[in-house]
Amino acid sequence: MALKIKRQRTRMALRHQRRLLQRSEINLGREGTAQAANFPELRNEIVALKKLEQEQKELALRIAQLEEGIKRIEAERQQNTEDQNAAIAKLEAEKKPLLQQRNQAKTTADVCERELAAVERRIRENETADRNLLKQLSDLHALDPAPADFEALAATINARRARLPEERAELMRARLGSADAASLAKEKLLAAESELAVVEKKIERVRSEFEARDRKLNENIRVQQEAVREARARHHKVEERKTPAYLNIGRHLSAQGIAPPNAPHLLTDAHRHRGTVDQLLQHRAELTTLSNQIDMQELRKFYFSVVSILALLAIILPVAVKSPRKREWLPQETDMILSINIEQLERADIPKRWRKDQPEIWPKVWLGLVGAAALTPGLTLPRDAVHITRAVSTDEPETPREFCCCPRGTGNPRHRRSRGSGRARSRPAGDETGPEDHRSTFQPVSGARSRECPPVDLPESARSLARFSSDLLP
């Protein structure tokens, strides 16, 4: 594997140095064209370079002409924009007084319309007043008996009605005058609007003509720019076609040790890169020889070992990720869990009184509390254990199971489990996990031996726990 990496690195370095060598030889050939004319074997390259240079000159001349044409069209476009602005400004100057006249005529027409509407409103008010007075007079005549001032009221109403025809006549004359003024104002407004519309149409026509000319010039510029891009691309292709000739000239000058007078460092660079390439080629040949000497059978064994390790990792890692944590040493179907802190239990007053007052009952109570933990080999309670954790669960066929974790003070727990008939067995090493200390963490049982233990009465233990848990828990 290390040999493969070395060969790959050598291959990459050789590719890079070859590119640098080729670039340095091309630069040497480009600067040493005059010296190459002294060698007959480079005559074909010199002739090809002259033809390509002549083509490049023609392309450069065409590019210059196109760029000059673009500048000229840009100048025409700028002049067209200035002419457009001048023509539009002139027409706007002509439009300004016409616009003022139109606005003034519109204002006058609006005033005349308002005056005519006011006269019409006053005429309607006059007619309404006449009808109201006639109704009052009719109501006055209809009164029975007639009021005492009937004559005075009738005279007043008749006098007011007598003035209404005169006011109506004046209003009718005012309406005729207002109507004539409104019609005259409308005629002036229409005339001003027609003149303004003529000027606006002229402005739009001039603007459209100049914009059409500008679009045409812009299209000509786009065509010229496209031609320039094509000519430059052609010029670049011709330059690339000169590269092989420069490369041959540079290699010949490098082999002859001739440097151009204006750039002697190019020959030094070419020789330096050539030496580096030769060293890399020699190194690659040595690596190839070493690679050929490798035993293929051993290489196959190595590959097989690597593949086997990867396959095992692919199998083991998912199992390790999905495996439960160390704390999860109880089944999910646990019905009841009881944790007893033996140190606090020993310091409590009730156990002390029971040991003193009822020595024949306390051993039974103690056995009911600790259960199978008292039967763990090599474990002396309460001296060796920090606390006891007991759990009861039920299997599928309704078989009770009891789990008991008794960690020592040094962190070495013992596990016991009751199954079926209630017999407890110590769990083998690695089957269950327990706490590393008396607080939280669990570790596998180490050094435990399987043995038969006396039966534990689970119902009696449960009744004892229910009876004394409220007094024992701190």
Alpha-carbon Rg of the chain, whole angstroms? 59
| DSSP reduced 3-state for 419 | strand
Give CA–CA dist 145/147, Å, rounded.
Answer: 6
**What is the C-alpha separation between 449 and 425, in angstroms, rounded?**
9
Q: What are 274's two structure tokens?
A: 């050539």
Q: Given this model, what pLDDT does residue 329 score?
A: 58
**Ranges under pLDDT 70 in the chain:** 1, 295, 323-333, 378, 395-398, 407-474
Q: Are 217 and 69 in contact (CB under 8 A)?
A: no
Cα-based angle 448, 418, 333 (whole degrees, multiple of 5): 110
How far from 41 is each of 38, 47, 256, 432, CA to CA, in Å? 9, 12, 13, 89
pLDDT at residue 64 in the model: 94
Rounded to an integer, what distance in angstroms lies between the CA atom of residue 348 and that of residue 362? 14
